[in-house]
Amino acid sequence: MEKEASERRSSKKAKRDENFNYTIGEFAVQCYKCFKWRLIPTKDEYETIRHNFIEDPWYCNKNPNVTCDDPGDLECDETRIWMIDKPNIPKPPAGFDRNIVLRKDYSKSDSFYATPTGKKVRAPAEVEKFLEANPGYRDAGVSVSSFNFSVPKMMDNNQKAANVTPGSGKKK
């Protein structure tokens, strides 16, 4: 129950680019207290918040000059495609870029990491192979457990307009 609630508070939003591929357009986090959604300016910052989310819940006043009394930055509604991340996905090791790609029909998404050599890894077995081929990263402390291939949950309102509002409890 607690986990379900936490998952709803950290999200990503995707948008379509000109080539009809879908990438994450913006990052947002939901306040633990007032349930408003706040934009997080960079992926790096978002990944830090997600990494610590259970031990260190997020509140509006962690944004400079913002309190829970201020209007939210965006609503979790049908104007955007919403994907809700699992909490506590480890922050990627330095030089590794974690990516989510949304399928064209909005049905689901896929995860991969771009490694510093440019090679993409899509599963723990591929990480293992990469570390065998590039032992320097293992020596630097990178291990399979540094990677998490969980994909975010798709919100119900991606397929059709629905009156889902943050904190409505509709997902419980």
Min CB(68)–Zn ion separation in Å: 3
Q: Does 34 bind Zn ion (CB under 5 A)?
A: yes
Which of these ranges, 18-26, 47-55, 63-71, 149-157, lies near Zn ion under the rule CB under 5 A?
63-71
Q: Does 68 bind Zn ion (CB under 5 A)?
A: yes
Q: Which DSSP string corresponds to 73-105?
A: SB-SSTTSEEEEPPTTPPPPPTT-EEEEEE-TT
**Angle at CA of residue 14, ends 11 and 18, nearest 5°:** 170
Min CB(123)–Zn ion separation in Å: 37
Phi, psi angles (nearest 5°) of residue 132: -65, -40
Q: Does 39 bind Zn ion (CB under 5 A)?
A: no
Q: Does 31 bind Zn ion (CB under 5 A)?
A: yes
Q: Does 60 bind Zn ion (CB under 5 A)?
A: yes
Cα–Cα nearest to 69, from 39, 33, 28:
33
Q: Does 29 bind Zn ion (CB under 5 A)?
A: no
